[in-house]
């Protein structure tokens, strides 16, 4: 039996070229996302008014209710690492884990730090996760948060 030398080739994990990947990533928005717009319409319909993306506050909160001392963040499950075990949107990519894992964990830690700083400054903070946007209880949760003292 003749020995056959196997030739292993290394294929790139990413199926897109660097230019295509850059173009695709540039389309990801940090404001005006579908979950955020859905939540904004819901809250406005409830009669609450807010300020958007106040850059002077830690974490640049999505919705700020200055008179109430309340802040709402709308977090994408993937980018902010939703800790809920059943969340399918918080999965890790299959490629370049040595890049993605630290990047996404840094996002999570940055969020925690911003929320801690806001709470210490007297703000009450609510985080709404992307996967919970269509929840039947979301309107009650928001109303309860905004109306409580």
pLDDT tens for 109-145 read 999 999 999 999 999 999 999 999 988 999 999 999 9
pLDDT at 99: 85
pTM for the full predicted model: 0.79
Domain-located, residue 114: yes
pLDDT at 11: 46
Q: Give the pair of three-digit tokens for residue 38.
A: 């859905």
pLDDT at 10: 46
Range of the domain at 99: 31-147
Segments of the chain with pLDDT less than 50: 10-11
Domain-located, residue 20: no
Domain-located, residue 121: yes
Domain-located, residue 78: yes
pLDDT at 60: 93
Domain-located, residue 76: yes
pLDDT at 89: 87
CA dihedral 95, 98, 99, 104 (to 10 degrees): 100
CATH of the domain at 53: 3.40.960.10
Domain-located, residue 119: yes
Number of domain units in the chain: 1
- In degrees, rounded to 5, the angle at the alpha carbon of residue 41 between the alpha carbons of residues 26 and 55 is 50
């Amino acid at each position: 039996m003749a020995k056959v030398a196997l030739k292993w080739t290394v294929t790139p994990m990413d199926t897109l070229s660097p230019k295509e990947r850059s173009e695709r990533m540039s389309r990801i928005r940090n404001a005006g996302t579908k979950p955020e717009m859905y939540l904004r319409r819901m809250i406005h319909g409830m009669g609450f008014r807010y300020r958007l993306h106040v850059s002077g506050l830690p974490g640049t909160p999505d919705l700020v209710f200055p008179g109430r001392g309340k802040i709402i963040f709308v977090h994408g499950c993937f980018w902010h690492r939703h800790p809920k075990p059943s969340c399918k949107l918080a999965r890790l990519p299959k490629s370049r884990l040595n890049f993605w894992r630290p990047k996404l964990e840094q996002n999570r830690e940055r969020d925690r730090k911003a929320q801690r700083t806001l709470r210490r400054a007297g703000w009450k903070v609510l985080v709404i996760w992307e996967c919970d946007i269509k929840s039947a209880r979301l309107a009650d949760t928001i109303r309860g948060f905004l109306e409580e003292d």
